[in-house]
Amino acid sequence: MGPWKLELGLLVAVTSGCATASYSPPPVAAAPCTVAGFGTPDHPWREVHASGFSFCVPGSWSPSGRPPRGFDASVWTGPEGAVSWATSPPPPVVVTRDCVTTRDARSGESMGTSCTAAANLPPPCSQPTTGSEDVGGLTITVEQFDCREGHIISATSHGIYLRAAASQTEAVELELAMLRTIRLLEPTR
């Protein structure tokens, strides 16, 4: 099982295995977002309110798990992948010759480890490609891991942490579009 499947599997487990059976996330009023090149008037994106910042996800994506008090859920899933937010840094994605371990952006919990069956196989994920982007007045550091069975993308900047998993190469642009919608929120007084 590849690392993105493990990450997505854990995100699904958050909604089914870790939450109590009778709990459903409360309905979240969808604040529409305009994301150039994505969504349509019939299928707009929605704004996710995190601690001190916001970002947008496709309107068809669903929240998972119990949301932190006063915020939207920290994990969102859709057919193209998943994204999670946090305000403290997760342990890094660790890539070795034989294994890769991914960690949830919010809790730091292991999302699983995938190991190759034989030492002569290539590593499950490449070393990250690291760059930066100016988004909403912030400089965000972006790490992208290309994996045999998907992609992992991390974005960090001054207390903002997002981690996304994309199952297909085509979904990477969708995941990057989400990261490019990050905006700082004004503190409430």
Its pTM stands at 0.69
Three-state DSSP at 49 gives strand
CATH number of 3-19+31-184: 3.40.1000
Phi/psi at 166 (nearest 5 deg)? -120, 135
What pLDDT is attached to residue 48? 93
- Residue spans of the domains in the chain: they are 3-19+31-184
On whether the CB atoms of residues 3 and 11 are closer than 8 A, the answer is no
| Burial letters 110-138, b for 16+ CB under 10 A, else e | ebbbbebeeeeeeebbeebeeeeeebeeb
Residue 58 C-alpha from the chain's centroid: 13
What pLDDT is attached to residue 19? 35
Contacts of 93 by beta carbon, 8 Å cutoff, 6+ apart: 3, 100, 101, 102, 103, 125, 128, 143, 145, 152, 154
Stated as kind and residue range, the H or E segment containing 174 is helix 169-179
What pLDDT is attached to residue 18? 32
Tokens linked to 165: 């998993």
Closest CA to 6 of 122, 94, 89, 132: 94
DSSP 125-146: BPPPEEEEEEETTEEEEEEEEE
Q: Over the chain (189 residues), what is each successive 10-residue block's mean pLDDT?
A: 38 32 42 73 86 91 87 92 86 62 68 58 76 88 86 88 86 89 73
